């Protein structure tokens, strides 16, 4: 009811249904289609796109184990197996009594306190043998989630090193008051002078983006905060939203003042649902303090407010145009660009999209002034950067550094010993081997959205790359054929090598596939899907070669194996029924 009959609220309506009924009931799909005056097929198409929405029942308890490589490194697969055994269940299947289903999901953003799982969208961290036994018992007893021990749902910030953002708490509204005196022209000048660049990885100058949005023609301007950090190994926005929510909203309101927007959205990734109530409470306080709403801070005509939209488990929605599609209640498929969101964004209107950290940094620029800000970091990368450290180190968590910090310095601070490689900026980023640990984090050398996954010398880097490749195949939105088919072929190729059937021919095929994906993919996911394999092949080739057969060619499809069931059914398993023996 709260969303009215607006089709652009479709995703939020479906999320509400999912939360209430545990799935999207078929009989309500037709009623919803009538009410929103859209085809039933559109609703089914949207519901089937997002992995947290289910058109069929998935049990009173839907358990999803986080399947990031760092969860695996801390034992998630064995824990999932244990839970399946104890509940007499196969992964991906609903129990016969309809009570529970267990499956995996992509990284839940809890890499500093994994292994982690989601139960009915609620994150549970620090899983171990004992916790799994307790969860099994609670499920068997049909204990409502609200009565589970609160400690299960405790999520730590794990801030290990603070700087400009994490070490300062600004009085609510202080930046806005100063900005109102400056006016939009001077705000943009200060941002440009500070050298602030977007913290999502691409590094577009923030002042230029806001300026372009301000000057774009449209019936209304919008501000969108991308809080859908789905890159495996990244969790810094989770921490900022928990401990610096006011600063995030201050930055968004500042953007509204600079661009002339009257409406903003914070798109929160579904895995961070636990933050929803506290974020809404912060928004409410800001409304009460006249920092949102009509005539903000008594300034006539300065009207702006923010809605929070909850994502539903689609990594691709972190891509800004896909996120806008999702905000409009559609499948999160990236748009053709140009035109860019600054001119044709939400509802085809000028829209400034930035991530959580960028809005905080923008507010800080106004707070300390562009000269001081520019003095932090390096010539082309001003300011500080939050790094999400996970993997093989005793002190995983959030570290804030001036740009220009080396990989080696971060490793020393987090206590990593015997590190053999660091994956910077998630699966689509760069695998940095030990010989390159003096490289610097920053736009000049290693641009990063924030993920910093440490692998020590006991890790099998082939398996790390295989996990990343599975991730891309799972998260490809399927819109364009090269990516849909290519990521799946890549996954099959890596699985073939893992099974001991790979040859040098398969490695050469990956090179060819990369060329196809680079040149024909519609968005960055497809273009970077081969990166983890190519990077690990370059630096850790023996991990691949140890698995290769010396044959020139080995088919990916095992025909003899595929006929095993037929042999079983016909009672024939003699040598003559086997293809190999007949060759």
4 burial class (0-12, 13-18, 19+ CB within 10 angstroms)? Answer: exposed
Q: Does 480 bind ligand SF4 (CB under 6 A)?
A: yes
Tokens of 87: 């509940």
Q: Is residue 395 a contact point for ligand SF4 (CB under 6 A)?
A: no
427 contacts ligand SF4 (rule: CB under 6 A): no
In which element (H, E) is residue 396 found? none
- Taking CB under 6 A as the rule, does residue 526 contact ligand SF4? yes
Enclosing H/E stretch for 483: helix 481-498
CA distance 344 to 334: 13
Beta strands 305-310; 351-355: pairing state: unpaired
Of 104, 476, 531, 536, the residue at the interface with ligand SF4 (CB under 6 A) is: 476
* Residue 230 binds to ligand SF4 (criterion: CB under 6 A): no
146: DSSP letter = G
In the complex, least distance from residue 351 CB atom to ligand SF4, rounded to whole angstroms: 19
Does 317 bind ligand SF4 (CB under 6 A)? Our answer is no
The residue among 453 and 477 lying less far from ligand SF4, judged by its C-beta, is: 477
Q: Taking CB under 6 A as the rule, does residue 153 contact ligand SF4?
A: no
Phi, psi of 192 (to 5 degrees): -65, -40
Residue 469 within binding range of ligand SF4, rule CB under 6 A: no
Given the complex with ligand SF4, which of 192 and 518 has the nearer CB atom? 518
Which residue pairs, CB below 8 angstroms and at least 24 apart, start in 15-18?
15/52, 15/53, 15/270, 15/310, 15/312, 18/52, 18/53, 18/54, 18/312
Q: How far is CA 13 from the centre of its chain?
A: 22
Neighbours of 23 (CB within 10 A): 17
SS3 35: helix
Helix (H), strand (E), coil (C) string for 331-365? CCCCCCCCCCCCCCCHHHCCEEEEEHHHHHHHHHH
Task: Tell me if 484 contacts ligand SF4 by CB under 6 A.
Answer: yes
Q: How far apart are CA 384 and CA 363, in angstroms?
A: 13
In the complex, minimum distance from the CB of residue 163 to ligand SF4, in angstroms, rounded to a whole number: 34
* Contact between residue 476 and residue 410 where contact means Cβ atoms under 8 Å apart: no
Q: How near is the Cβ of 517 to ligand SF4 at its closest, in Å?
A: 8
Q: Which of 119, 431, 477, 489 binds ligand SF4 (CB under 6 A)?
A: 477
Residue 316 sits in the site that holds ligand SF4 (CB under 6 A): yes
Nearer to ligand SF4, 9 or 521 (CB): 521
What residues are paired with 208 via a beta bridge?
none
Cα 188 to Cα 449: distance, rounded to the nearest angstrom: 23
Q: In sequence order, which residues have a C-beta less than 8 Å from that of residue 360 and are 6 or more positions away?
A: 165, 240, 244, 247, 248, 251
Q: Which is nearer to ligand SF4, 260 or 313 (CB)?
A: 313
Helices 531-539 and 504-520 sit at what angle, rounded to 10 degrees? 140
**What 3-state DSSP class applies to 377?**
strand
Q: How far is the CB of 518 from ligand SF4 (least distance, A)?
A: 11
Q: With CA atoms as reference, report the closest residue to 270 among 115, 53, 56.
A: 53
* Piece of the chain touching ligand SF4 by CB under 6 A; list 149-157, 374-382, 505-513, 522-530: 522-530
Counting contacts by CB under 6 A, is residue 483 touching ligand SF4?
A: yes
How many CB atoms sit inside 10 A of residue 520's CB? 14
Segment interacting with ligand SF4, rule: CB under 6 A, options 204-212, 290-298, 473-481, 551-559? 473-481
Residue 50 or 455: the one with the smaller Cβ distance to ligand SF4 is 50
Residue 522 found at the interface with ligand SF4 (CB under 6 A): yes
DSSP state at residue 452? E
Stretch that binds ligand SF4, among 7-15, 227-235, 422-430, 518-526 (CB under 6 A): 518-526
* Least distance CB 315 / ligand SF4 (angstroms): 9
Q: Which of 348, 479, 539, 560 touches ligand SF4 by CB under 6 A?
A: 479
Q: Are 524 and 428 in contact (CB under 8 A)?
A: yes
Contact flag: residue 531 with ligand SF4 (CB under 6 A): no
**Alpha carbons 52 and 120: distance in angstroms, whole number:** 9
Size of the residue set binding ligand SF4 (CB under 6 A):
14
* Binds ligand SF4 (CB under 6 A): choice among 10, 510, 523, 530: 523
521 binds ligand SF4 (CB under 6 A): yes
Q: Interacting stretch for ligand SF4, rule CB under 6 A, among 157-165, 199-207, 225-233, 480-488? A: 480-488
Only segment of 199-207, 270-278, 410-418, 517-525 that touches ligand SF4 (CB under 6 A): 517-525
Token pair for 231: 């890159």
Question: How far is the C-alpha of 441 from the C-alpha of 381, rounded, in Å?
Answer: 9
Tell me how far CA of residue 365 lies from CA of 304, 373, 375, in angstroms: 21, 6, 11
Return the number of the residue (190 or 476) whose C-beta is nearest ligand SF4: 476
Least CB distance to ligand SF4 at residue 317 (A):
11
Stretch that binds ligand SF4, among 98-106, 410-418, 434-442, 471-479 (CB under 6 A): 471-479
Residue 478 within binding range of ligand SF4, rule CB under 6 A: yes
Q: Tell the smallest beta-carbon distance from residue 228 to ligand SF4 (Å).
A: 14
Applying CB under 6 A, does 334 fall inside the site for ligand SF4?
yes
Is 525 one of the binding residues for ligand SF4 (CB under 6 A)?
Answer: yes
- Determine the interface stretch with ligand SF4 among 153-161, 175-183, 521-529, 574-582 (rule: CB under 6 A): 521-529
Q: Which stretch in 272-280, 413-421, 447-455, 470-478 sits in contact with ligand SF4 by CB under 6 A? A: 470-478
Sites of contact with ligand SF4 (CB under 6 A): 316, 334, 476-480, 483-484, 521-523, 525-526
């Amino acid at each position: 009811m709260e969303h009215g009959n607006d089709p652009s609220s479709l995703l939020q309506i479906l999320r509400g249904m999912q939360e209430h009924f545990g799935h999207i009931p078929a009989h309500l799909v037709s009623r919803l289609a009538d009410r929103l005056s859209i085809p039933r097929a559109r609703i089914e198409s949207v519901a089937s796109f997002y992995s947290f929405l289910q058109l069929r029942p998935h049990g009173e308890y839907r358990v999803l184990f986080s399947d990031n490589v760092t969860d695996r490194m801390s034992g998630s697969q064995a824990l999932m197996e244990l839970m399946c055994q104890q509940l007499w269940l196969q992964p991906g299947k609903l129990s016969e009594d309809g009570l529970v289903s267990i499956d995996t999901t992509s990284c839940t953003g809890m890499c500093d306190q994994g292994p982690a799982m989601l139960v009915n969208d609620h994150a549970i961290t620090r899983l171990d043998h004992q916790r799994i036994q307790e969860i099994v018992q609670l499920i068997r007893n049909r204990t409502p989630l609200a009565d589970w021990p609160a400690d299960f749902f405790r999520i730590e910030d794990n801030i290990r090193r603070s700087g400009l953002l994490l070490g300062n708490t600004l009085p609510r509204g202080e930046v806005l008051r100063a900005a109102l005196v400056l006016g939009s022209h001077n705000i943009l000048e200060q941002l440009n002078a500070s050298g602030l660049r977007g913290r999502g990885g691409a590094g577009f100058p923030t002042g230029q983006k806001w300026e372009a949005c301000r000057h774009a023609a449209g019936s209304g301007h919008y501000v969108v905060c991308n809080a859908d950090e789905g890159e495996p190994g990244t969790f810094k926005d989770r921490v900022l939203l928990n401990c610096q929510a006011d600063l995030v909203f201050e930055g968004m309101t500042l953007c509204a003042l600079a661009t002339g927007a009257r409406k903003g959205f914070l798109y929160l990734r579904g895995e961070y649902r636990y933050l929803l109530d506290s974020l809404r409470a912060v928004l409410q306080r800001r409304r009460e303090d006249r920092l949102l709403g009509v005539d903000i801070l008594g300034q006539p005509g300065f009207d702006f407010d923010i809605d929070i939209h909850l994502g539903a488990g689609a990594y691709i929605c972190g891509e800004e145009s896909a996120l806008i599609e999702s905000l409009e209640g559609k499948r999160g498929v990236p748009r053709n660009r140009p035109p860019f969101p600054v001119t044709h964004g939400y509802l085809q209107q000028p829209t400034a999209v930035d991530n959580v950290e960028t809005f905080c940094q923008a507010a800080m620029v106004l707070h300390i002034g562009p000269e001081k800000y520019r003095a932090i970091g390096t010539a082309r990368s001003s300011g500080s950067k939050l790094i999400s450290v996970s993997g093989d180190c005793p002190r995983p968590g959030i570290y804030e550094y001036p740009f220009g910090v080396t990989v080696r310095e971060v490793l020393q601070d987090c206590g990593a010993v015997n590190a053999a490689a660091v994956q910077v900026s998630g699966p689509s980023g760069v695998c940095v081997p030990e010989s390159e640990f003096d490289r610097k984090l920053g736009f000049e050398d290693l641009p990063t959205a924030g993920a910093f996954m440490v692998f020590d010398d006991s890790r099998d880097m082939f398996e790390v790359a295989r996990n990343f490749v599975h991730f891309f195949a799972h998260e490809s939105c399927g819109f364009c054929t090269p990516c849909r088919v290519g990521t799946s072929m890549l996954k099959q190729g890596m699985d073939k090598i893992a099974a001991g059937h790979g040859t040098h021919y398969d490695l050469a095929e990956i090179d060819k596939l990369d060329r196809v994906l680079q040149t024909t993919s519609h968005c960055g996911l497809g273009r970077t899907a081969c990166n983890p394999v190519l990077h690990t092949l370059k630096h850790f080739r023996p991990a691949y070669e140890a698995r290769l057969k010396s044959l020139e060619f080995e088919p990916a499809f095992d025909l003899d194996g595929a006929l095993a069931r037929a042999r079983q059914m016909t009672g024939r398993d003699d040598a003559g029924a086997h293809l190999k023996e007949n060759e």
